[in-house]
Amino acid sequence: MQDNKITRVKILEKIDTPDNVDKLFDSWTDKMGKVPEWARVMAHCPDILLSFSNLLRKTMCEGSVSAEVKWKMAFHVSRVNECEYCTSVAHNKLHACGLDDEIVERIKNHKFEDLPKAEQIVLEYGEAVTREAYKISDDLFNKLKNHYNDQQIVELTSVIGLFNYINRFNDALRVIPE
C-alpha cells in the first residue's frame, strides 16, 4: 500500500501527447468516458503505451478463456500484489461480467472452494506465478493441464504476466484509482 497518494510523474493531458496517442485517448474517451490514469502516465513513452494497450486488448478481449475467468485472475493477482488501482479496475470489470459482491469477496478473501474446480486451480496457479514462478510444481501444472489446453494456459499465464507488470508500474509510479 502506498503512503503518499501523489503520482510520481506528471499525468499527461491529451494536448501533451503525439497524434498517435491522441487517437488512442479519443478511443478510450468514446468507450469509457475517460482515459485511464495509467495510460496518461504511460503516455510519456508513446511506443510503450501503444504496445501495452494492444497487448492488454489482445490478452483480455480475445482468445478462448472467458473474460470472467481472465478478470478473476486479474483481480486475484492484483490483490496478491496489493495494487489498489488494478484491484479496483478488476473489481469493476467483474461486476460488468455479472458477478455479485459475494463472489468477488470470496476471491478477495482467498475462499475459492465455492468456485468451479478449474477456477480454483487457475487462481492457485496465478498466485504461484506471482509469488515464485520458478517454484511451480509439476503437480500444480498437471492439475492446470487437466482443465486447460496449452493455448489457454499461455493465455492465462499472459494475464498473470500482464497484471504483474501493470501492478508494479502503477505502484512504483503511485498511479492511484480515479
3-state secondary structure of 10: coil
**What is the average pLDDT across 17-43?**
93
**pLDDT, tens only, 97-134:** 999 888 898 999 888 998 999 999 999 999 999 999 99
Following DSSP, what letter does each residue of 143-167 receive, concatenated?
HHHTT--HHHHHHHHHHHHHHHHHH
37 or 176: which leads in pLDDT: 37
**What is the average pLDDT across 129-155?**
98
**pLDDT, tens only, 46-59:** 999 999 999 999 99
Q: pLDDT at residue 40 above 50?
A: yes
**What is the average pLDDT across 132-155?**
98
Report the pLDDT value the prediction gives residue 19, as an integer from 0 to 100.
85
Name residues whose C-beta falls within 8 Å of residue 72's C-beta, 6 or more positions apart in sequence: 94, 99, 107, 119, 122, 123
Query: Which CATH code fits 14-61?
Result: 1.20.5
Q: pLDDT at residue 42 above 90?
A: yes
**pLDDT, tens only, 23-33:** 999 999 999 99
Q: How far apart are CA 122 and CA 99, in angstroms?
A: 18
Question: Could you tell me which of 165, 145, 167, 146 has the C-alpha nearest to residue 154?
Answer: 145
Report the pLDDT value the prediction gives residue 5, as an integer from 0 to 100.
64
Q: How far apart are CA 49 and CA 43, in angstroms?
A: 6
167, burial (CB in 10 Å: exposed 0-12, middle 13-18, buried 19+): buried
Location of C-alpha cell 489457454: 152
The fraction of the chain above a pLDDT of 90, given in percent, is 82
Domain at 67-172: CATH architecture = Up-down Bundle (1.20)
**pLDDT, tens only, 75-99:** 999 999 999 999 999 999 999 999 9
Q: How confident is the model at residue 6 (pLDDT cuts 50, 70, 90)?
A: confident
pTM for this predicted structure: 0.92
Following DSSP, what letter does each residue of 60-98 receive, concatenated?
HHSSSS-HHHHHHHHHHHHHHTT-HHHHHHHHHHHHHTT
Report the pLDDT value the prediction gives residue 75, as an integer from 0 to 100.
97
Per-domain residue ranges for the chain? Answer: 14-61, 67-172
